[in-house]
Amino acid sequence: MQYVSTRGSAPALDFEGATLAGLASDGGLFVPAEWPQFSHADIAAMRGLPYAELATRIIAPFVGDSLTDDELRALCAEAYGRFAHAAVTPLKQLDEQQWLLELFHGPTLAFKDVALQLLGLLFETFLTRREDHLTIVGATSGDTGSAAIDAVAGREKIDIFMLHPKGRVSDVQRRQMTTVRAPNVHNIAIEGSFDDAQAMVKRMFRDEALTGRFHIGAVNSINWARLVAQVVYYFAAALQLGAPERKVAFSVPTGNFGDVFAGHVAARMGLPIERLIVATNVNDILHRALSDGDYSQGTVTPTAAPSMDIQVSSNFERLLFDVGGRDGLAMAEQMAGFEASKAMRLTNAQRDGAGALFSSCRTDANEMARAMRWACDAGGEIVDPHTAIGLHAAREAGVDAAIPVVTLATAHPAKFPDAVERATGMRPSLPSRIGDLFSREEAFTELSGDYDAVAAFVAERATPVA
Ligand SMILES: *Cc1c(COP(=O)(O)O)cnc(C)c1O
């Protein structure tokens, strides 16, 4: 399988190359040159498979020659063996039509574990084979940092430097990063905002004093291997609800458009999906784009669902490319226009193509709180703020009553105890396996907002490549 760039001029790479590169060299994102297809019979034959085996079947066509099926099967078994639920992503019924797909049974209690646990193993496998070493630098406002650290802690071929804005992530989120004690994990608390930390990381990728000595890498959701791991749970849920004979709709709390794009991939591969509902909070650039064709950047409003507080959705470019005729050079021009003016209109082909499968809904703070209470009262479930936004969108979408609607539950409610308590009066507690989080010892380095100090810190501790 070959991967091409959405901006049309970077050379195509295989799965291993695309995984290690992250971003394409022309600034675009990698997408498969064509979509693997599963027939009705292929999908019917997947019923009842254990999660790791289902993952192997679905991911294998994307991996191509980069791994044998047995190698891939071993990595999937290891990654998903670390989840606390035997089903990995269990499905729960709320009422006749509404369901929750719980994606938070991994080590750090958010859906990002599903992809990052596998990505950590893929990195280690490919780096060992190439005798290479990766220095991952990242900035986090919460969930990505802890999931990435957990996925690579203790791995020989990788160092990770994770910057978080000092005092601006929750206690649970910070402790999930700073209590992981491994020689290759480096947590840095930076004076300043998330954007300041992010700007430093971007500068490190262009800093020749670093890139000349180290193989600098990223783990954000533009990495194709992350998306592919997320396709699996769309199949897992739909198979349990009657696919391929019956259609299913999904509602997805969305920020960077990675998770919901994986649903588009599942549909392209032949899974009968009735509709994908893009659920946003008041940071609604995606809702405006899908309902009105207006993709224009506003300013970020902080909400109780911080992982959706974004104004530019990197992975949206993959959808626009795929439904808009797969014309890389036209895409490059469109994105250059967006980068210059912070606004663009979708083409008619992009609007029609997206409209065939996607709808969208914007949810404010009151509607989110109401959805949390409904989940408690009607379904007996406590949901986190991100999931509540998905649930509100699911119930507003007007999907035919015969079709089940699955909301992706993207975080455990105990990650956001204050917001949950405000809405429902109940304070969720951490699952017992991480119940000692607040008694574990923390380790992190505090640095000022001075770039040179941060770059020097990385250069002293990272492993150079030949
Ligand atoms: C990252 C995240 C999201 C958004 O996912 P995208 O793939 O960026 O759309 C939603 N909910 C939670 C809890 C997250 O951590």
Q: Residues 179-213: pLDDT tens digits?
A: 999 999 999 999 988 878 888 998 998 899 999 99
Tell me: pLDDT of 121 over 70: yes
More confident residue, 155 or 219: 155
Neighbours of 176 (CB within 10 A): 26
> Does residue 143's CB lie within 6 angstroms of at least one atom of ligand 1?
yes
User: Looking at residue 143, what is its pLDDT?
Assistant: 83
CB distance 217 to ligand 1 below 6 Å: no
- The CB of 173 under 6 Å from ligand 1? The reply is no
Mutation test of ligand 1: which of 102, 254, 312, 318 has the most ligand atoms closer than 8 Å to its C-beta? 254
Q: Do residues 110 and 147 lie in contact, with contact meaning Cβ atoms separated by under 8 Å?
A: yes
Q: What is the per-residue pLDDT across 269-289, written as a single tens digit (0 to 9) for each? A: 999 999 999 999 999 999 999
- For the CA of 143, the closest atom of ligand 1 is 15
The torsion angle over the Cα atoms of residues 332, 334, 335 and 336, rounded to 10 degrees, is: 80
Q: Which of 228, 222, 259 is nearest to 32 (CA)?
A: 228
Asked whether the predicted pLDDT for residue 298 surpasses 90, the reply is no
- Catalytic residue, chosen from 92, 112, 166, 247, is 112
Q: Which atom of ligand 1 has the smallest separation from the CA of 258?
A: 7
Residue 162 CA to its chain's centroid (Å): 17
Ligand 1 in contact with 112 (CB < 6 A)? yes
Spatial distance between the Cα atoms of 252 and 430, rounded to a whole number of angstroms: 24
Q: How far is CA 188 from the centre of its chain?
A: 22
Tokens of 231: 């396709």
Q: Which CATH number fits domain 91-110+224-424: 3.40.50.1100, 3.30.420.40, 3.40.50.10440, 3.40.50.300?
A: 3.40.50.1100
Beta pairing partners, 30: 5
In tens, the pLDDT along 244-264 reads 999 999 999 999 999 999 999
143 CA to middle of ligand 1, Å?
8
Is residue 112 part of the annotated active site? The answer reads yes
Which of 108, 169, 259, 309 has most ligand 1 atoms within 8 Å of its beta carbon, as the pocket-test mutant?
259
CA 252 to chain centre: 11
The predicted structure's pLDDT at residue 154: 96
First and final CA of the chain: distance in angstroms? Answer: 29
283 Cβ neighbours under 8 A, 6+ residues apart:
298, 300, 301, 303, 308, 309, 310, 311
Report residue 318: phi and psi, to 5°. -65, -40
Chain centre to alpha carbon of residue 23: 15
What was the pLDDT predicted at 462?
96
How far is residue 64 CA from its own chain's centroid?
A: 23
How many angstroms is it from 299 CA to the middle of ligand 1? 19
- Nearest CA to 66 out of 225, 269, 252, 270 is that of 225
Does residue 232 carry a pLDDT above 80?
yes
Find the 385 Cα to ligand 1 centroid distance in Å: 11
Proportion of the chain in helix, strand, coil states, percent, rounded to 5? 45, 15, 35
**What pTM was estimated for this model as a whole?**
0.96
Cα of 99 vs centre of ligand 1, distance in Å, is: 18
Q: What is the Cα–Cα distance from 79 to 382, expressed in whole angstroms?
A: 27
pLDDT tops 90 at residue 75:
yes
Q: Which residue has the higher pLDDT, 240 or 196?
A: 240
Cβ–ligand 1 distance for 386 under 6 Å, the answer yes
Neighbouring residues of 59: CB distance < 8 A, sequence distance ≥ 6 = 72, 76, 228, 229, 231, 232
Assess whether the C-beta atom of 367 lies below 6 angstroms from ligand 1.
no
pLDDT for the residue numbered 181: 92
387 C-alpha to ligand 1 centroid (Å): 10
CA 253 to ligand 1: nearest atom: 10
> In this model, does residue 466 exceed pLDDT 70?
no
CB of residue 253 inside a 6 A radius of ligand 1: yes
Residue keyed to tokens 């986090």: 140
144 Cα: distance to centroid of ligand 1 (angstroms): 9
> Is the per-residue pLDDT at 142 higher than 80?
no
| Ligand 1 lined by 257 (C-beta under 6 Å) | yes
Give φ, ψ of 462 to 5 degrees.
Answer: -75, 165
Contact 406, 248 (CB under 8 A): yes
- At residue 403, the pLDDT reads 98
Encode pLDDT of 372-427 as tens digits.
Answer: 999 999 999 999 999 999 999 999 999 999 999 999 999 999 999 999 999 999 99
CA of 411 to the centre of ligand 1 (A): 8
Handedness of CA 269, 271, 272, 274 (dihedral sign): negative
The pLDDT assigned to 220 comes to 80
Return the pLDDT at 377.
95
Give yes or no for a contact between 116 and 136, defined as CB atoms under 8 angstroms apart: no
Q: How high does pLDDT run on average in the chain?
A: 95
Integer CA distances (angstroms), 244 to 49, 271, 274, 388, 394, in order = 15, 7, 12, 28, 21
